[in-house]
Structure 1
């Protein structure tokens, strides 16, 4: 199963905090994060990796990105 976090329109650190909260819940193995800036994309990816997760894909999505994060 996967969880989707829609952080489009939010500025950092909000997308990072939302992602970290979902990682801490530990309910799903995959998290899909939607962001709309390069800064958010980079910060969310770095935060996920710092928690031992793997960013498996980053896909363009309209004016933003979809980050696919898997828990270890």
Structure 2
């Protein structure tokens, strides 16, 4: 499973990096972000591409687990 580490990156970069992983045809991936806006934007993007998203917060970081629905 691929891990996209987008912590410390400003939008739209977390979405762009997630989009690249999705284009590679991955059915499961994990995205790490550290901003509420990035969490919301990546979640919205993933849902629009048919992925189910599970979010876990650990301190200031969010772990988004994406899987093909």
TM-score (norm 2): 0.92
Structure 2 unaligned runs (5+)?
none
Structure 1 unaligned runs (5+)?
none
SS in 2 for 1:68: strand
1:44 corresponds to: 42
Matched, 1:67 2:30: no
Shift of 1:21: 0.8
SS in 2 for 1:12: coil
Number of equivalent positions: 69
Shift of 1:29: 2.1
Provide runs of 4+ in structure 1 moved above 2 Å: none
TM-score (norm 1): 0.89
